Amino acid sequence: MTTRPYLKMIQHSVTASGISFEEITPNFVYRATDGVKSFVMVDAEIGLNNSASTIIAMSKSLTYDVLHKANIPAVEHIYLPHPDSKFSNLNPYPLAEHYFQACNGEVVMKQDNGAQGNHVYKINEIADLHEKLDLLFSLQLNGAIGPYYEAEIEYRIVTFNHQARVFLGKKRVRSWKHNLINGAVTIEVKDQAKQEALAELASRTSKALGLDFCSVDILETNQGLMVIEVNHKVMLDEYCKQNPSEVPGLSDLYREVILQRMNQL
């Protein structure tokens, strides 16, 4: 059994259903089994989503492309390939500069497959644009660039079978970012009309990407609600730390997810 609280919650959720977990790589890879059937779980990734949808969700720019094609409001992310990329002949520097000018000198640059707010930069100077792009490329990362939206609140909606099951508000405090791990605080989503709008947008998003279990991050901007990214792996460990009373309900959700995964075998 794992020593990580979030993974422990996931694994405990199906104890009463006769499912146990065998450790393969400590605190990271496990085999779930009911004694007859089994599947491998990596971190908190249960494997309910197909591989193509997972690959798309891992890329900010590909996620935007799919959602834009489906007429779903989303924050634009333009792909900035590493200069040594074998799959693109684009020069990312003039592309980034042109986009910077088109956004009136205020953009967000990030690694295309990033998470937890790592390598995400708000940029309003051309010199900084080059510096951060150089940094991403020095780390052998591809980049993505998009407009900056002034938004105090970001929502994370967890969907299961395209139905919204968890509503989480994240209010920034000490940073322009909304990551809980970087100091943002959770807030309740009490307004029924807001819940319905978020649920509808998250459901459309998960359907467009073909994700059976995911979380959808949605910004509240002066242009309305807009999807900013989608997470194929549902990680709510910081949420659980700030809201321990929500753990039993989340555990029940994971029980449904794991049982569905087992029933597919």
pLDDT at 3: 87
- Sorting pLDDT into bands at 50, 70 and 90, what band is 2? confident
For the whole model, what pTM was predicted? 0.95
Phi–psi pair at 39, nearest 5 degrees: -150, 160
Element (H, E) at 224: strand 224-231
Q: Reply yes or no on whether the pLDDT at 156 is more than 80.
A: yes
The 10 Å CB-count burial string (b at 16+, else e) for 197-227 is bbbebbbbbbebbbbbbbbbbbbbbeeebbb
Count of alpha carbons within 13 angstroms of residue 79, beta-carbon side: 18
- Specify the amino acid at residue 179: N
Specify the pairing of strand 29-33 against strand 38-42: antiparallel
Q: Tell me the pLDDT tens digit for each residue of 178-196.
A: 887 777 888 999 999 999 9
Q: Reply yes or no on whether the pLDDT at 126 is more than 90.
A: yes
Q: Tell me the pLDDT tens digit for each residue of 44-96.
A: 999 999 999 999 999 999 999 999 999 999 999 999 999 988 777 788 999 99
Average pLDDT over every residue of 218-225: 94
Cβ atoms 224, 196 nearer than 8 A: no
| Distance, CA of 120 to CA of 75 (rounded, Å) | 15
- Better-predicted residue by pLDDT, 77 or 176: 77
pLDDT at 177: 85
Of the candidates 122, 125, 156, the residue with the CA atom closest to the CA atom of residue 229: 156
pLDDT at 236: 92
- Percent of the chain residues past pLDDT 90, beyond the cut: 83
First to last CA, the chain: 23
Of the candidates 163, 159, 129, 144, the residue with the CA atom closest to the CA atom of residue 64: 144
Coil, strand or helix at 58: helix
In the DSSP assignment, the letter for residue 190 is -
pLDDT at 136: 97
